[in-house]
Amino acid sequence: MVTFEDFMKLDIRVGTIIDAKVFEKAKKPAYQLKVDLGNEIGIKKSSAQITDIYRPSDLIGKQVLAVVNFPPRQIADFMSEILVLGTYSKDGVVLITPDREVENGDKLG
């Protein structure tokens, strides 16, 4: 079991995807994303296995939730700095998004 204190260690923020392209060197189909997380955090990169449902053009301008305090992870020749959150559905990963537009960098509370 995870304690509430463990959960509170996660820094989950809202960001807007500003760039998305196919990650050619990934072992599993994925996109390379650039996510604007506001002035405090800035623009971060993420590798996301979300190709079943989304095309790169679908992602530009979409707000998503991401964990911003995991250590960076090397994937092929790409450094993934954040973990964009989604749910596993029967059709593929569905991104977790705010119900309405909010400020980039807003923290999950």
Domain membership of residue 88 (yes or no) is yes
Average pLDDT rounded to a whole number, residues 28-50: 97
Strands (E), the chain: 12-22, 31-36, 43-48, 63-67, 73-75, 78-80, 83-84, 86-89, 92-95
Q: How confident is the model at residue 109 (pLDDT cuts 50, 70, 90)?
A: confident
Number of folded domains that form the chain: 1
- Average pLDDT value over all residues in the chain: 97
Mean pLDDT (whole number) for 47-74:
97
Question: Residue 52: inside a domain, yes or no?
Answer: yes
Confidence (pLDDT) at 48: 97
Domain span at residue 49?
4-95
Distance of alpha carbon 97 from the chain centroid: 10
Model confidence, pTM: 0.95
In a domain, 105, yes or no: no
Q: What tens digit of pLDDT does each residue of 1-38 get?
A: 999 999 999 999 999 999 999 999 999 999 999 999 99
Q: What angle do CA 12, 40, 51 make, to 5 degrees?
A: 45
- Which CATH number does the domain housing residue 79 bear? 2.40.50.140
Domain membership of residue 12 (yes or no) is: yes
Residue 10 domain flag: yes
* Residue 89 included in any domain: yes
In a domain, 14, yes or no: yes
